[in-house]
Every structure is written in structure tokens, then in C-alpha cells.
Structure 1
Amino acid sequence: MAWNDERVELLKKLWSEGLSASQIAGRLGGVTRNAVIGKVHRLGLSGRATTSRMKSHRPRARAATTARARMQQKPRFAQQGNPALRALYQPEAEPFTPSVEELVIPLKERRTIQTLTECSCRWPIGDPQDAEFHFCGKTKVTGLPYCEFHARRAFQPPQPRRREREIQEPRIPALASGKEEPADA
């Protein structure tokens, strides 16, 4: 279907009357809603008359909480933002300290992003903003990006599912509480 002058004029007329692109496509025939939208944009048509549907909207009921009340509520999450960048915006915040003991890697074995090789462990050590930041660099485990030590930290074995655990280990209430069942006399 080609856009001829008659169809373009009809499109402009229907668009100015406030019809939707789907309604215009139905009236023109042989054209999709997306084709109508594309032609409207290419023609630069913008101003539309309001339709009866647009005029008869119902005002929404106001929410019980105001914006000021929402601002005074506690934050939903204890931590906000990227912890690596927090010190830049909150200088009084305590510096990051790793929670688990890290391997001590000699200076000559440390790798930067530029010196990493295909067989180097890619475990990041330290704060990326510090000059001391480096990667582990030890020989990695085949198929993993980390050495054996860091692979154990990164990949935890899956825990058995609760349903499977109950099938394998049936619960006997007396044994679960640590008491023995009384023997029949």
C-alpha cells in the first residue's frame, strides 16, 4: 500500500479529530497501526484534538500518605547505593574492611587488569579505588575464573532441598528432641 495524497489528507484529518492510530488504520484499510504512527511522525503531526475519552477522565483519589510523610519513613533497605562509592559521598562513613581473611600475595605475583593472563586467577583484592588494588594472579582451576582457594569461596556446594532432606532423613519426634522412646514393658 502506497501513501497517496488522498490517504495522507484523510490521515491528517482523522489525526486532528483525535482518533487513535488503530482507529485510523481501520478507516484507511490496508495499513497497520504502526504504519499510521510512522507516517504521523514523518509528517511531523503533533497537536491533537482531545477526544471524549480524554475529556471524561476521573480524578484519582489521593493517597493517604503525603510526600512529606513518605520522606520521614525509615528507608526500606539498610544499605543504599554502591558501597564502593559510598566513601566519596559520605566521608564520615567507616572504610570498607573485608569480612573474610584474604590470601597474602607477594608483590611480584600480583596482577593488574593489564597484566592478567588467560591462566591467572581473576579474584579482585582490595578497593578498586586504592593504588594497592590487584588481582590474585595464581594459576586458575580449569573451567573457572579463580584459583582453588578463591573458587571455594565463590562457589558454595548446593544445600539439599528441604523436601529431599525429609525423604532421605525421616523425622521421628522422639529422636529429634534427643529423648529415647520408652521401651514397651
Structure 2
Amino acid sequence: MSWTDERIDTLKKMWDKGLTATQIAEELGGVSRNAVIGKAHRLGLQSRPSPVKQNEAKAAAALVALTAAAAATPEPAPVPEEAAPPAPPPAPKPAPAPAPVVEAEPAPQDAPVAAAPAPALGPRPASDGPVLRSVGPGGFVRQNPGDQAPPSTPAPPRRLVPAKPSEAIAGKTSLLDLNDRICKWPLGHPGEPDFHFCGDKVNPGFPYCVAHCGHAYQAQLPRRDRRPAPPLPFGGAARR
């Protein structure tokens, strides 16, 4: 909501008349009490006395007036107990009349049950006055459920450009060249620029070539040719 010259003049007139910020906000419409106070402060209008202090001063003055009135009023003379007339006994309350019992007539079984008429749905009447929008703390306009904006058009998908291979592995088998017919034995470290794979013809039934199968699969030595296990520290039980 923008502060026009007309709204500013109205604010100044109502402020000079002594109206509260809440009354001014209700009269202008579309603004809050804090917005009215902030605008009046920026315009340099005369500050108002605190309503809390005014209420405290009024309460103190009323208390002083009541104390003075109580001190000025003479106390009535006490009436002796013998001369006081006895209080009349309380009258008994009349019993409430029973409510009449009305028996509902049963509806005939063959008569059709009339359904309640459905409310007519028609277009909402267009208001002649301006539509007020509530502005949030961040400056955005709060929208009603029926005022939601249509979804924005999504951006077109980006075209993926394949990375240019390094010159160090030119002519060598890279990760994208692997298949079931070539050897997958890695050569080098994955962090090095010349890291690649063997790429030779695989040994049938294995993922590597004949040479690399000799490195990957080694026959186990017989039990008599194996090295004995080292003794456990601190005198633990020996392995069998």
C-alpha cells in the first residue's frame, strides 16, 4: 500500500484531532497500527503521551476522589439489636410447570421423503470497491487461495556436452569403453591423468585376460607347504 498525498493529509488531520493509531488505521484501511505510527514519526508529527501513564494518572485521581468522599460521608448510627425488626422468612419458590409433551405423528411409509433443496451456486457478485491486499513483513503481497498465480514455464533442459578426454589416455581403454569382451584390469591410480584399463581380449569365463587372470586367481598351496601361523602375544592359545 502506497502513501498518497490524500492519505497523508487524512492522517495528519485525524492525528491532530487526537484519534488513536488504531482508529486511524481502520479509517484509512489497508494499513496496520504500527504503519500509522511509523508514518507519523517520519512526518515529524507531535508525539502522543503514553496511554499507560494516562490511565495510571486517571486511576490515581479516581482513588483520591473516592478516599475523600468516603472520609466526608458521616457513618450511620448503629441500630440496637432489640429495636431492629425481625427479617421476614424467604418466600418459597414456585415449582416449575412441566413442559407439554408433543407426540410427533409418524409419517406414512408410502409417502416419499422430500430432499432438502440444494443451494443455488452462482457467480460471486463483483465488488465495486477496491480490492485490499495485505502486505507481509518482507514486502510481499499475501494471496488468497483463489488468487494463486499460474505456475511459471519451466526452463528448457540443458544440453549435456561430453567432457573432452585427456591426451594422456588417447588410444587407451577408458571407463566408457568397457564391455564384456575386453579385460577390465585397471592400470595406474584413478587420480592420475593416464589411468586406464587393459583392454585386451578376455579369458573366456573371466573378466580379465589370460595374463591378468594369473595375477587375480592364484592356486592355494597344500596344507603341508603353508607357513605356520605366528604365535599369539601374551601367551594366548595356539592355533591348531
Same topology, TM > 0.5: no
TM-score w.r.t. length of structure 2:
0.22
**Which of these two proteins has the greater Rg computed from alpha carbons?**
2
TM-score w.r.t. length of structure 1:
0.29
Quick one: higher RCO (CA 8 Å, sep 6+), 1 or 2?
A: 1
